[in-house]
Amino acid sequence: MRFKAALPLFAVLAFVLTLMPGPLEAEDNGPVQIVGFGDSLMAGYQLPPEDALPAQLEKALAAANRKLVITNAGVSGDTSAAGLARVDWSVPDGTDGVILELGANDALRGIAPEETERNLEEIIKRLRGRGIEVLLIGMMAPPNMGTDYQDRFNPIYKRLADKYGLEFYPFILDGVVTEADLKIEDGMHPNAKGIAVITRRMLPVAERFLDRISSATN
């Protein structure tokens, strides 16, 4: 008799619990917050905002059922030193991950590769110190800088990616740099079609990056 009498009470309790908020369901923490941090290649030089890399990559990832926002924090002309000077305030609290793309202007200006590497490493350390994951995008020195400079500059990115265990995309202009129809009139910066090529090639790395962020926050 006691068992039978307890059944209705148990049913009511179970119903009430299904209506209560709390740890019974996984919380929806909203979209993953990503910052695209870099120079004109990130900012989208001479492109409307919707054609820049952060916007195109966000759209491609959303089409793959990824819930995220990529904020464009690219500044045309930035060197690695300029990026280091602004990283603390350009990447707000609440950021889950940063796509780090800097160094092209260092190479164009002939800045010592060792200095570029130190600056990039300090940016990475500051971001990781704040619990922010980093996807590192590589750059290659132009041929006119000479083989000695290239040999010192080009390995920087993989060396840092290996040292800090980062997701890594080796060369941002892969598939674009030799294609005139994928660049604007200056022959250096990608046009919207060029950014689409970069986005398509980078997408698998970006998805792994989001998986890593998800694993770190769960």
Catalytic residues, by residue number, are 40, 186, 189
Closest CA to 107 of 95, 99, 115: 115
Helix axes 113-129, 156-164, angle to 10 degrees: 30
Alpha-carbon dihedral 190, 191, 192, 198, rounded to 10 degrees: -20
What are the C-alpha distances in Å from 14 to residues 24, 26, 136?
A: 12, 18, 49
- Owner of token pair 């030089």: 45
Helices of type H across 70-155? 80-90, 104-109, 113-129, 147-153
Distance CA 57, CA 41 (A): 13
